[in-house]
Structure 1
């Protein structure tokens, strides 16, 4: 789903740089999604840009509020079109429910943005982005190799069925034999660790080699593969 031309029309000799834009719920999410896109498509390194604003807040929005929230993103993309060829837009929101509920959220986000004149790919991890990290336990441990254990508890399983994935990940990175006196001050997983985990996935070339199953991640991979950048 490549983005169609906006208000800006190319003229002769107009060679605006192509970019892929990522919007999300917060900056940790958008940075993580950028890393994963570049991990899946190394040729896009340097062309994927994340934006802090506007936030993607469509999932739980009342029907009457959806058009305005989608239009904020569409307007931001239009501004970018003045100086760049915006090839694709990715909009992230966590599902906060297990698979296949993510499909409903994807449809709501993509429909709203299409109506606002901004075709986009919805990125909706089920339950949360943290569920995806269970597909690459070695990448997680590599972020804090002296403290964390590799959370390999869900290898070969469907991580899209993990409830409260963030809390589950916090528990699973703690070594099973950690002594009580060392629990105080232990560097538990925080949302701010997500971009570093995603970077490890990219640098270790693991983005196309998940160790577990996730329908929501598979959908994301298909979306990234559909993105055509000139």
Structure 2
């Protein structure tokens, strides 16, 4: 039987000596913080056991074939360093798809194959189009970031959010109240990428992670990956 994704064979030998750890890598710190919140929202028993890492970045999606091994190895090396002090139960590697579903599947396959070849089995986290598309599944969590200013972006409830193009720009538009007066638009607190971790925290605190209000194949794949993470 092959080791579970993120689990190195030597971890099975020394697991009793070290505390468990789930690692999250990505292309942006706001994204990795958000994914950590979502993992903990899906698996409350993992709270305090998930760490996001700023470096190395996951830049495999658009890498030239000759550059992929080196980029994957940098992540594998970082995981090996963590194994010196922790039992690394799972590794998650995030990159936005920048395309609609089902294009995320090919990106996931590329990331997971590259990391497996580097000796670091991992779960790819590839939101389609971008992580912001997922936030449309929980409009109340979005509005909670700035309840006095934003409207709940409920325009996509019940729909497939993985088909939203340019999701970041779409979310930026949809949090603006429809009756906002033109003179107030200049000072309006628009959505920024740094708001993502707060949205994810509201999803976790409100126990919404397993109750999305819309459909997303890329999110469903992520949920399945989190459920496969075995922490001893």
Same fold (TM > 0.5): yes
Q: Which residue of 1 aligns with 2:130?
A: 128
For residues 171-215 of structure 1, the C-alpha deviation after alignment (integer angstroms, 9 at most, x for no partner) is 000000001111121000000000000000000000000000000
Q: Which residue of 1 aligns with 2:222?
A: 220
1:164 aligns with 2:166: yes
How far the C-alpha of 1:166 sits from its partner, in A, is 0.2
How far the C-alpha of 1:9 sits from its partner, in A, is 7.4
Q: Which residue of 1 aligns with 2:194?
A: 192
Match of 1:5 among 5, 8, 20: 8
Q: Which residue of 2 aligns with 1:57?
A: 59
How far the C-alpha of 1:14 sits from its partner, in A, is 4.7
- Give the TM-score, by structure 1 length: 0.97
2:51 partner SS: strand
- Give the TM-score, by structure 2 length: 0.96
Count, aligned residues = 229
1:148 partner SS: coil
Q: Is the 8 A contact 1:160 1:216 kept in 2?
A: yes
How far the C-alpha of 1:3 sits from its partner, in A, is 2.7
Q: Is the 8 A contact 1:139 1:197 kept in 2?
A: yes
Change (3 A) 1:3 1:212: same
1:47-196 equivalence runs, <5 A: 47-196=49-198
> Structure 2: 5+ residue runs without aligned partners?
none
How far the C-alpha of 1:103 sits from its partner, in A, is 0.1
Q: State how far apart, in whole Å, the 2-side matches of 1:176 and 1:39 are.
A: 31
> Structure 1: 5+ residue runs without aligned partners?
none
Q: Is the 8 A contact 2:8 2:120 kept in 1?
A: no
Q: State how far apart, in whole Å, the 2-side matches of 1:227 and 1:136 are.
A: 24
Q: State how far apart, in whole Å, the 1-side matches of 2:231 and 2:32 are.
A: 19
Q: State how far apart, in whole Å, the 1-side matches of 2:205 and 2:112 are.
A: 30
Q: State how far apart, in whole Å, the 1-side matches of 2:199 and 2:61 are.
A: 25
Give structure 1 regions of 4+ aligned residues with deviation exceeding 3 angstroms: 6-11
